[in-house]
Amino acid sequence: MRNIFAVAGVVIKELYRRKDFYVLFIVTVLICLVMASVNIYHDDKIVRYLKEICLLLVWISSLVIAITTTARQIPAERENRTLLPLLAKPLSRSQLVLGKFLGCWIACGLTLLCFYVFLGALAGSRDHHWPVLDYFQAATLHWFALGIVVALSLLGSLVFAAPSSNSTICFVVVAGILLLGRHLDQVALQLSEPMRGITLAIYYVIPHLEFFDMRDLVIHDWPLIAWKFYGLAILYALAYIGVFLAGACLAFRRKAVN
């Protein structure tokens, strides 16, 4: 575990020393503040559209950070030749993969914390209402969704040749799941075999990230999700994370490092 945390620490340092997070955070803040300054019939209590815009930007930014940060981890180590001195230490390849995952995931968590604190401050300044538990549920489920995305991206970085192709494929897959994942079974019914079977198989195999998208509930002030289902969603995320990480460890074991 010590080695895993050591590798994770370096990944977190890399994130806050790069510009990605700061640029995305500042862009999000600026857009939201501009939107907040718009005069909507002199009613300054209107807040839901702000929450929607902010949450959309948070989701986009967090996915960009998660995928791009993770996609370049191991390829950059190989390209920059930092992989050899690292593996020459008493560190197994699996520990390296797990350390990279943990570092990227914690880094995503820290960025989410900043984004959600901003969202809470922005929305709360308007409606004077701070549903802390709602934000907690939304942020933690979002974080676990990013965990799945990070694990997927890490596996992709060991399968695909270039970080750019890995990033593109991950973005397309994640966007597809978020937009269409819930409805793939309905799409399948309108197709003929063998596409119907393939689509249904995809529907059952993909990680359903929409379970972790609580935006509508936060925007429209719906009550909390039952903690039982919250817990089940987290277990679901951990299962997929485990599967993707196992695949990544297996793929890395067989990969040449020099």
Partner 1 sequence: MNSSRTLFLGLLALLVFSFGLAAYLQPQYVVMPLSRADGDIFKITLGESRELFANEFYVKADAYYHSGFYPTIFDNNEAFKTAHVGEDTGAVSSKNHGEEASFMGPPRDWIDAFGRHFLPDRHTHLDSGGADDDLSGSDEVGEILPWLKLSTDLDPKNVQNYSVTAYWLQRMHQTNSAFRVLMDGLHHNPGSPDILFELGRLYAGSYQQTNRAVNVWRAAAHNWHPMSGTNDAVFANNFIYEKITTQLGQTERDEGHLQAAIDWFEKAKAVSRTPDAVQGLIDETKKEMSSSAPAAASSDP
Partner 2 sequence: MTTILKTEKLRVEYRSRETRHGVKVALNGLDLEVRAGEVFGFLGPNGAGKTTTMNVLLGFVPPTSGAASLFGIDVRQPIARQRIGYLPELTYYYKFLSAEELLRFYAKIFGIPRAEADRRIDELLKLVELEHARKRPIKSYSKGMQQRAGLAQALINNPDLLVLDEPTSGLDPVGRMKVREIIQRLKNEGKTVFFSSHELGEVETVCDRVAVIHEGELKALGRVDEIRKPHHTNLEQAFLEIIGFQPQVTP
Binding site for partner 2 (CB under 8 A): 2-3, 5-6, 9-10, 13-14, 17-18, 80-82, 84-85, 87-92, 95, 256-258
CB 229 within 8 A of CB 217: no
Nearest approach, Cβ of 248 to partner 1 (angstroms)?
Answer: 25
Residue 191 DSSP SS3: coil
- The residue (of 2 and 45) whose beta carbon lies closer to partner 2 is 2
Nearest approach, Cβ of 90 to partner 2 (angstroms)?
Answer: 4
Helix, strand, coil percentages, rounded to 5, for the chain:
80, 0, 20
- Write out the binding residues for partner 1, residues 20-59 only, by CB under 8 A: 38, 40-43, 45-49
DSSP state, residue 208? -
Count of residues that interact with partner 1, criterion CB under 8 A: 35
CB 159 within 8 A of CB 74: no
203 near partner 1, judged by CB under 8 A? yes
Q: Which does 193 bind (CB under 5 to 8 A by kind): partner 2, partner 1, none?
A: none
CB 252 within 8 A of CB 156: no
Q: Which does 205 bind (CB under 5 to 8 A by kind): partner 2, partner 1, none?
A: none
Query: What residues contact 27, with CB distance under 8 A and at least 6 apart?
Result: 57, 61
- The residue (of 72 and 208) whose beta carbon lies closer to partner 1 is 208
